Each structure stands twice: as structure tokens, then as C-alpha cells.
Structure 1
């Protein structure tokens, strides 16, 4: 039951991220994706730093910078670039291959051998997402496709490295999340200034939208996400990703007057089923289990251990 509770709490992160499109279109100024990424990451990171009241030490200065660049600083701009250059939902389709990226990286870095079930479930999740969000028309932009693939690879690599490195002694997921969001926000800031210029004037509606994105959509959501990485396998965590485009589709139907076709409903059922199946732990034969290291790692040395990290 504790594992299922962890899965449900971690799943709230991509559900929250699925509201980003509606909030952006309804509350925020047009054409400022990098500024929006900056407003999501940096205030949330600084808030969590203040709450956690601990800074990185030793090797964790560069580890936090690497994780912040992969999960936030590179991921946000690449995601926005792909969304702007690709037609109707294609960025989400390309990004839905994340579970397959994680399966491959987990084999290399975590010694988690991908099973046939994992690969088939990952393909089913990508197919389901494509049925939900893919729209007809529009030639594929090579830059947009590469940006979407790079965004998925960046987040997948950050997820696997966060699992491999664990957390330092005495540091909880709140502080670790704050380090990454701050590092990522500081990376985005000069890019946003160079590409988009000075920040736009903000009214009360926009300020409310940015407040929601910084607090619920980023600070809380990424804390739940990195907390989940410490308690679940990297593959289980990334299989929750399709909940984001599914949430966006449901919210578009419920709040924005968009329609859902039978094909989209079938895609939602397929993607959600793949998400649920992806949470089932892989079965390890008894003989292999005796010689296979547990998936969790210690916070300090990275040596496998049997118990999950505590908050």
C-alpha cells in the first residue's frame, strides 16, 4: 500500500504539468515561453532553498548543476522550442518515447535490464498519446523533432542520474529539488533575456498564473517527482509521464470547450493502461534475486542498498 501511495503522489506531478497549456493560454502573455520557464523554475527554486535551508556540499555542487540543467534548464527551452515548431501535439508524441529512453539508460547506469513487457508497454504508451494529441496536417520541422527528442532525452537522463546518485546524507527531496530548480532557472535566465528581451508588463491575471505555475505546477510537482525517483524505479517514474498530455486533453474538453473523438478516447484508455502496467514491479527469479543488487542507492556513496531513502 505504501508503494501505491508513492505512485499516486508521484503521479500528481505530471497531472499538474498537464494544466500548463491551459494556464499559459488563458492567463499568461503570448509569445514568452522562455520567460514562462524562468518564472516557473527560479522563484520555485529559491523558495525551496529557503525552506530546505541547506546548500550543496562537495561534489554535489556540480551534480546539482548537472541535474538542474538536464531536468529544468535544458528541458524547458527544448520543450517550448519543439512545441512552437511542430504541428498539433507532435511534440507530446515525440516526448512520449521517454520511457524507452529511460529503459535504455537504466540498463547502462542502473543495471536495470529492460524486459519485453517494459518495451511493449512503452510503445503502447507512445501510441496512446499519439492518438490523443496528434492532429492532421503540417509538415514535420526537423529542428522541432530534434528539439523534442533532445527534451525527452534530457529529462530521461536527469531522471536516471537522479536515481543513480541518490541524495547526500541529511538532505531530503525538498532541498534537492530546490537545488535543481535554482540551477535550471539560472541557466534559463540569460537565454530568456537574449531571445525574448526584457520581461513583459504583467497584470493581476498573469501574476496569478505565474504564481500557480511557480508553486503548485513546479515547486510542489517537482518535489513530488524527485521524491518518487528516490522511492520507485526510474522506469516506474517515467511511465507516469503520459498522465501529462492526458490531463491536458481532459482539461481542454472540460474547461476549454474542446471535443474528444472516439479515437482520442481509445488513445486515452491505451495510454492510461500502459501507465498502470508500467507501475508493476518486474519479477526477478529467486536465483537471480540472490545475486542482483537492489535498485535503491545510498545517498552518499551510490552503493546499492535494500531500503528506500527516507524523507
Structure 2
């Protein structure tokens, strides 16, 4: 099979896995406290990443104090903050709404860089931010019109999910501030190890061991750790090595689509016109963010 097609398939599977985290977080939220679920996720994933590092002969990076602090902040925001807020939000939000919001990551990352670093975005990125905002508002307005938040229409839940996406955007921003570049594999291992250390203390206060065992929630955490976290890493970087950055970035459009489809198929959630509108806006935002960056890079070259 053509190497480029293999790259497309790997990146697509990785992004479908990311979309599935929204759905599986619904079952996790129903049976486990957020910090306990987060600590368990990293406790499973970390040793697997260490084994992959040893298998590939990859060494741990040597970081100075500044970069060490940045890596810890990355783990606190992008690993712990994202997972805890996503699981907390899924107690109230529908998986479909959360999937649409999760798809705004490229636009949110551009917005965070603009606000935090004073970067001047291109017209394409500004358009992406506007479209992504419209997509989130479509779901949020739909949520506000529902009188049954337990059915999935919760503004609070949507805000928590959006806060999770902001945490992931901060992760990307902080990674750009590292003086010593860290390869993806050791960085993923560090995120899991530090994430476990950060989340285990608040997890102890949740006393999850006193709660009845919820097989669905535990199975959800196991899936989260093995498929989107570990397998997703392998698939994404195998695929990204075979295609261009713009092509890989465009595959993030599969996140809201897969989340909405899986929510309908597995959770039997109804798909609303507002959610379809939100997906359309987010897909447009992803394409603008991806091709806008690509065109900007070509002009500078």
C-alpha cells in the first residue's frame, strides 16, 4: 500500500480514537470521580510508554529548571486539567455537544497564542476562530433551550468541556516555549508520569475505593489509557511521518464527526440540527486553520 495512504489511515484512526474519548468519558463520569479516573488512566499508560521507549532505545531528555517547570505545567494543564475537566463536563453535557466543542482545538490554540503571546493571526485563522465560536454557540444555545440538562443540554457541561480544550491549547503553547525540544515519545511518557503524580493526591481525597465497583467506568478508563492514549500516539506519529503537516492537521476534522457518530450509535443520543450546524462550523474552522497555516508558511519560505 502507498505510504501516503498508510499515513492517512493512521492519522484518521488516531483522530477517531480522540473522538471516542468524549463518548467513553460519559461512562467514566457516571462511575468514577474525575481525579481518580485520571490517575488510573496515567497509571496504566505510563509503564507502557516506558516499555516502548526501552524497545526503541529512546532516552529521557535532560532539561534545565525552566524547562522542567514548563513540562510540569504542561502535564498539569494538558494531561490532568484536560482529562479532569472533560470527565467532569461529561456528567452534564451530551457526548455530541462535547464532540463538537472538542473539534475546536486548532482554532482555540490559535486564539490562545494570539492572547498569550501577542501573535498576529492571519485572516484565515481569524475566520477559523469565528467559525469555531459559532459552532460552540450553536450547541450552547441548543443546550440553553433544553429544560432537561440530564439529557445532555447543559451550559455548565459545555463550559467545562470548553475549559478542557483550553487546557489542551495551553499544553501546545507551553510546548512551544521549551528551550530543549523533547521528542514526542518521551514527552508523552513524561506527561503520563507527571500527570499521575499531580492527580494522585486529589484522587486520594475522592476515596474512590469506598464507592461500589463500576465495571463500565473501569473499562472506560482502560480503553482511554490503551487506545486513545498509547495506541493513538503510535498511530498519529506513524501517520504524521508519512504525510504533510497540513494533511495531518486536516485529519483533526474527524474528531467532532466521530464523536457525534459514536454518541448516536453507542449512546443512542439524538443528533440535533444545532449539533450538525456546529459540526459544519467546526469543520470549516479546522480547514481554515490548517490551510491558513500552510499558506502562511509557504509565503514566508
User: Please, which moves more after superposition, 174-183 or 250-259?
Assistant: 250-259
Structure 2 match to 1:137: 146
Q: How far off its partner does 1:211 sit?
A: 2.7
Do 2:22 and 2:99's aligned partners in 1 also have CA atoms closer than 8 Å?
A: no
Unaligned runs of 5+ in 2: none
- The CA RMSD over aligned residues, in Å, is 4.3
Structure 2 match to 1:76: 83
Do 2:100 and 2:278's aligned partners in 1 also have CA atoms closer than 8 Å?
A: no
The correspondence of residues 86-101 of structure 1 with structure 2, limited to 5 A, is 98-101=105-108
- Write the distance in 2 (CA, Å) between the matches of 1:89 and 1:188: 27
User: Is 1:210 the equivalent of 2:221?
Assistant: yes
User: Is 1:106 the equivalent of 2:128?
Assistant: no
Structure 1 match to 2:44: 43
User: Is 1:269 the equivalent of 2:280?
Assistant: yes
TM-score, normalised by the number of residues in structure 1? 0.69
User: Is 1:55 the equivalent of 2:78?
Assistant: no
Structure 1 match to 2:206: 195
Q: How far off its partner does 1:214 sit?
A: 1.0
User: Is 1:155 the equivalent of 2:168?
Assistant: yes
- Write the distance in 1 (CA, Å) between the matches of 2:170 and 2:239: 16
Structure with the bigger percentage of helix: 2
**Aligned residue pair count:** 285
User: Is 1:283 the equivalent of 2:295?
Assistant: yes
Superposed CA offset, 1:69-115 (max 9, x none): 12102222233334435688666666665444422443578886311
Do 1:125 and 1:274's aligned partners in 2 also have CA atoms closer than 8 Å?
A: yes
TM-score, normalised by the number of residues in structure 2? 0.71
Q: How far off its partner does 1:270 sit?
A: 3.5
Unaligned runs of 5+ in 1: 291-311
Superposed CA offset, 1:248-282 (max 9, x none): 21012233333334444344333323323332144
User: Is 1:257 the equivalent of 2:262?
Assistant: no
- Write the distance in 2 (CA, Å) between the matches of 1:152 and 1:21: 12
- Write the distance in 2 (CA, Å) between the matches of 1:263 and 1:121: 19
Distance change (3 Å), C-alpha of 1:101 and 1:204: closer
- Write the distance in 1 (CA, Å) between the matches of 2:195 and 2:296: 37
Q: How far off its partner does 1:178 sit?
A: 0.7
Q: Which has the higher contact order (CA 8 A, sep 6+)?
A: 2
Structure 2 match to 1:30: 31
User: Matched residue of 2:280: which SS?
Assistant: helix
Structure 2 match to 1:15: 16
User: Matched residue of 1:258: which SS?
Assistant: coil
Distance change (3 Å), C-alpha of 1:211 and 1:30: closer
Do 1:73 and 1:187's aligned partners in 2 also have CA atoms closer than 8 Å?
A: yes
User: Please, which moves more after superposition, 66-75 or 54-63?
Assistant: 54-63
- Write the distance in 2 (CA, Å) between the matches of 1:210 and 1:153: 22
Distance change (3 Å), C-alpha of 1:26 and 1:284: closer
Q: How far off its partner does 1:158 sit?
A: 0.8
- Write the distance in 1 (CA, Å) between the matches of 2:216 and 2:280: 35
User: 223, 231, 237: which one pairs with 1:220?
Assistant: 231
Distance change (3 Å), C-alpha of 1:273 and 1:203: same
Q: How far off its partner does 1:206 sit?
A: 5.4
